Amino acid sequence: MEKRQLGIIWVVAIGQFIPLMLYPPGSLAAASPIFLILPLVFFAFLGYNLVMRKRWAKTLTIFMQGFNIIVRIMLVLSHGAYSLKTGGGYNWPVIVTGMVSILLSTLILYRFDVPEVELAFE
C-alpha cells in the first residue's frame, strides 16, 4: 500500500502543473517567457514538498486544482462563445483546452483525495 500512496503523490507532484498551464497555443505564444517560467519553478517547488509529504503542499494543491476548475468553467462560458456575438462561431481552442483542463484537475482531485493518500500525509 505504501508504494501505491507514493505513486499517486509522485504522479500529482509531476503532473499538477499541466491543467493549470494548459491554454490555447496562440495564448501561450503571446505570453512573456517569465509568465511561463515562474509558475513552472513554483510547481517544481510545490511538487518537491508534496513528495516530502508536507501537509501545506497538499492543501495548496487541492485549492489550486479546485480554483482552476472554477476559473476554467467561467473562461469556457465567457470566451468559448464570445465570438458568437460577432457572428464568428465558437472559439474551439478555448473550449477544448478548458474542458481538458477541467477534466485533468478533476482527475487529480479525485485521485488525490482518497484515504490512502490522506494517511501518507499524517
pLDDT tens digits for range 100-113:
999 999 998 888 88
pLDDT at 60: 92
Q: In this prediction, what percent of the chain has a pLDDT beyond 70?
A: 90
In terms of residue numbers, what domain contains 95? 2-120
Owner of C-alpha cell 472554477: 70
- Of residues 28 and 98, more confidence is placed in 98
Number of domains in the chain: 1
